[in-house]
Structure 1
Amino acid sequence: MFVYSLMAIDFWSGWKSEDDHKKELVAQANDLHEAAASWDLFLLFKRKAFDLAKKVGWEGDIRSGNFFVSGLPAEGASEIMIAWKQDNNGQTFVASPFALPWLDAEDKIEG
């Protein structure tokens, strides 16, 4: 996983909310057990991202309405990346299972 610390991002075209992501997981699942398993994997990804983000300056807060999910193309099935905006100063964090070289910055961590 790669977590990037960026200056404030204010435009989120193409991203969806966490609630919309959860609804999609449920709609795509064959049954509730599969939906729950997919949601659990998402929560693990999110938790790991939050842990890593603290190492690059995240203070642990999220500006209301500023947590987003986006798809990433991958072989076989798509992956996701997440992003959120810190409430204190608008600093933005992006977590991805793959390196995003166009975001490479000094404040990045791989874990």
Structure 2
Amino acid sequence: MIEITDVAATELKALLEAEDKQDHALRIFVAGMGCSGIQYGMALDNEIKEEDVTVDSKDVKIVMGPDISEQLEKATIDYIETDGGKGFIIDNPMAASGCSSCGGSCH
């Protein structure tokens, strides 16, 4: 099931504490479709539905709808810092790659 890296877990716990939202989970949802496949979004959420799939990784609660839990089975949530900014990303080795989903050229 989906995992979170040590760095991402540390950053997320700090964010939850800074915003006084220690009772919240990290929700993953489908944010749209792009040339490289499904685009996922993340948000802090304290309203967990009965049908949600819940995963605990490194003392972080991660929730998602049952419709995407299989797609994210081998995914990893990480935290990166680059010249362009910093933030959480989802690395999903099961995601479709290439440009076939839009029929165009992504180069």
TM-score where L is the length of structure 1: 0.26
Q: Report which of the two has the higher share of strand.
A: 2
Q: Give the structure-2-normalised TM-score.
A: 0.27
Larger radius of gyration: 2
Higher helix share: 1
Larger relative contact order (Cα-Cα within 8 Å, sequence gap ≥ 6): 1
